[in-house]
């Protein structure tokens, strides 16, 4: 028996905790257009931060990158369980397939052997002033694990990365802290975060927001509303 996790990247802290207590879990990756599974590993074979190995015999995957094992690129797939196209929508079908018949997933990642490691969605990727690709989800995941952070969003403003932070007010009150202390607390968090990311992923500043970020029915943040 095992628990299979999917739908979004697993929080690194949660993943580490599950491994520490030897909880039988694994992470899979898929999409409706692939009916729905693309990759999976039994929990005994699971590699941390991965989303499993591409299904053997029925599925192929490739990374649109000059170095698929190191440089992230779009994950593209083909196989028996991949759809033929969208019903009565040839334009959408043409947009989602490459000229040589591979399905564009819209996700960016790397692949080592048959094992996939997702970095983020292509449409959320941030291109910095020095040409580096930044995947905000990875930074946000680290930031969300820090004290007094309920959720966060990383955006690009004037060629610099800025973190929008919705504080965990319940935790602040439980610690008997005041709202006036939040800027100092978050500045400390910024310092901790910047020590754990690459130079081009460092946050230059942060802004506190007073309400939760607006979300889709799938509970993902509507990034287009925040700039």
Confidence at 126, pLDDT banded by 50, 70, 90: very high
CATH T-level fold of 125-225: GMP Synthetase; Chain A, domain 3 (3.30.300)
pLDDT tens sequence across 84-102: 999 999 999 999 999 999 9
Give mean pLDDT, residues 69-96: 97
pLDDT tens sequence across 162-194: 999 999 999 999 999 999 999 999 999 999 999
Domain ranges of the chain: 3-121, 125-225
Confidence at 218, pLDDT banded by 50, 70, 90: confident
Q: For domain 3-121, say whether CATH 2.30.38.10 is its number.
A: yes
3-state secondary structure the chain: CCEEECCCCCCHHHHHHHHHCCCCEEECEECHHHCCEEEECCCCCCCCCCCCEECCCCEEEEEECCCCCCCCEEEEEEECCCCCCCCCCHHHHHHHECCCCCEEEEEEEEEECCEEEEEEEHHHCEECCCCCEECHHHHHHHHHCCCCEEEEEEEEECCEEEEEEEECHHHHHHCCCCHHHHHHHHHHHHHHHHHCCCHHHCCCEEEECCCCCCECCCCCECHHHCC
Give mean pLDDT, residues 15-27: 96
């Amino acid at each position: 028996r095992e628990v299979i996790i999917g739908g979004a990247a697993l929080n690194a802290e949660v993943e580490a905790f599950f491994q520490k207590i030897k909880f039988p879990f694994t992470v899979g990756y898929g999409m409706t257009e692939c009916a729905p599974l693309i990759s999976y590993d039994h929990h005994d074979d699971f590699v941390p931060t991965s989303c499993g190995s591409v299904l053997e015999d029925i599925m192929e995957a490739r990374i649109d990158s000059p170095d698929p094992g190191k440089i992230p690129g779009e994950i593209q797939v083909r196989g028996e369980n991949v759809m033929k196209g969208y019903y009565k929508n040839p334009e959408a079908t043409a947009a989602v397939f490459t000229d040589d018949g591979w399905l564009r997933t819209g996700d960016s990642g790397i692949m080592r052997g048959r094992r996939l490691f997702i970095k983020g969605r292509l449409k959320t990727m941030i291109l910095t002033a020095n040409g580096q690709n930044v995947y905000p989800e990875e930074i946000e995941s680290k930031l969300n694990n820090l004290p007094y952070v309920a959720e966060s969003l990383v955006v690009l403003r004037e060629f610099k990365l800025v973190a929008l932070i919705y504080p965990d007010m319940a935790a602040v009150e439980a610690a008997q802290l005041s709202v006036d202390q939040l800027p100092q607390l978050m500045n400390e968090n910024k310092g901790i975060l910047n020590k754990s990311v690459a130079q081009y992923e460092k946050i230059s500043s942060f802004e506190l927001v007073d309400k939760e970020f607006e979300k889709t029915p799938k509970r993902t943040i509507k990034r287009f509303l925040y700039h």
